[in-house]
Chain A
Amino acid sequence: MAYLYKQIKTKFFEYIPLFLLFFVALNGNSVIDFKILSINVHYILIYFWVLRKPQALGYGLIFLSGIITDVVFGLPMGISSLALLTIAATATYVRVVTVRISLANDWISFIPALLLANFVYFISLYLSNYSIDYLYLFKNSVFTFIFYPIFWGMFTLLLNLMKN
């Protein structure tokens, strides 16, 4: 009984990142805007879980959540997928080259991930003839970077719950 309970608990925690990924995409909460704050939760979620527990989020599912985000936000299909896969690719690369896990390492390596993903995003939107608010995107990138440690803390807590 105790074993079954533990199994259910582990499975439940294991599916939380996946649930969050699709909830964020379907509910249109990829970008949280609150007054001047603007945070891209989708980027943080994918970066953290691909870096720390790649089994939790499959690349195919990340691609699918990008498609959903595009449809919900009215962007050409594939643009968000491309940006999210760029984040996942950077996280995978960082995972392969890093030995020691620490918040500082994760946080610093999040900068190139953000830069690359936003670059892919700009280019795709530009080629699709969409007007871009550069200042907004800059603000969004800065706040996403600043708020990374808070999400890092929450997700690490969840990761520990999974291990226990």
Chain B
Amino acid sequence: MDTSREDVGILIRSAFLKRDTKQRFSLFVLVILAITLVFIETIDTKPLNYFRSLVKDSIYRGSEIISYPAKSLDDSLKFFKEHFTLYKNYKLVKQENENLKNKIFETDYLVMENNQLRRLIDDQVASYSNLVSSRVMLDKQSPYLNSFIINSGANKEIKKGLAVLDGKNFIGRIVDVNFFSSRVLLVTDLNSKIPVVIEKSGHHAILSGQGSKNPTLEFLPENHKVQENDKVYTSGKGGIFTSGIPIGKVVFKDRQARVNLYSDISQITYVNIKLEDVIQKK
């Protein structure tokens, strides 16, 4: 019995502590180093953050270069696919154009009416936002994070927590800022919790990512009157984002209130980051 125990001890020692001829580090040392690194990640100091930013920026650039051939191939495939469906798309677009033309007349009238009413209540509030546009550098969906990397960082005054938009629609927030790049955590991610308000009923809720493309609405009041196709906006509660940024429409799946996002998150190339809002009263 003692002999077999000794044997196991020798085996473990030779496997983990001894270095092979071509190995520069022993496994044991590297495991300790990895554990130390995980703990260091929790420390938030300026020199460490600088170092992290440097490492991350370099890896992102490397990753961008390495994934270029695969991305080019993907783009070429999309290009050919689009050509094959050109005629079908043309017919659809033509029909859509007709519909839009008809709607423009209705919209013009509504804009005019809206302006008149605004003047009437004497509460004209014009809001313009300070937006920064960025390109999506890397879109590597990990099993644990639905996020992507954009090519703007501290160099463009981007800070943690800022809202990220696709056009005018909310898609996520900044969670990590480096010198020349930042990570955007998408609303679909498991870790994403956004305070929202639902139009018509006016109910407040938390938009919680589930890893799938339809995040759920949590903490809705009992007997709520939320209906399918109700619009969902950021509520601005907690001072995280400004209120009224459109997110999507309510859909019910498996008796659960979910949100169908206005933006297709898998097709995003450029994003806008809302730096800060300047609200002027006329």
Chain A residues at the B interface, C-beta cutoff of 8 Å: 23, 26-28, 31, 33, 38, 54-55, 58-60, 62-63, 66-68, 71-79, 81-82, 85-86, 88-89, 92-93, 95-97, 124-125, 127-128, 130-133, 136-137, 140
Contacts and interface: CB of A to CB of B under 8 A. Distances in A.
Given A67-B37, A93-B16, A136-B211, 11 more contacts: A55-B21, A60-B23, A60-B25, A60-B30, A74-B176, A75-B144, A77-B55, A85-B27, A85-B30, A93-B15, A136-B143
A72 B63 contact: yes
A66 B143 contact: no
A109 to B, nearest CB: 13
22 contacts: A26-B63, A33-B143, A55-B21, A59-B30, A63-B25, A63-B30, A63-B33, A66-B34, A67-B55, A73-B140, A73-B142, A73-B144, A74-B175, A78-B37, A78-B40, A82-B38, A85-B31, A97-B11, A127-B38, A130-B144, A131-B191, A133-B143
A58 B24 CA distance: 7
Given A76-B41, A96-B14, A131-B190, A38 B143 contact: yes
A84 B163 CA distance: 35
B23 A54 contact: yes
A157 B48 CA distance: 44
A82 B59 contact: no
A108 B138 CA distance: 37
A28 B138 contact: yes
B279 interface: no
A136 B190 CA distance: 12
A136 B70 CA distance: 25
Interface in B131-157: 138, 140-145, 147
Nearest to A73: B142
B38 A72 contact: no
The 7 closest A-B pairs by CB, nearest first: A28-B140, A78-B37, A73-B142, A131-B190, A78-B38, A76-B41, A26-B66
B60 interface: yes
A77 B38 contact: yes
A78 B183 contact: no
B70 A27 contact: yes
Interface in B36-75: 36-38, 40-42, 52, 55-56, 59-60, 62-63, 66-67, 70
A92 B16 contact: yes
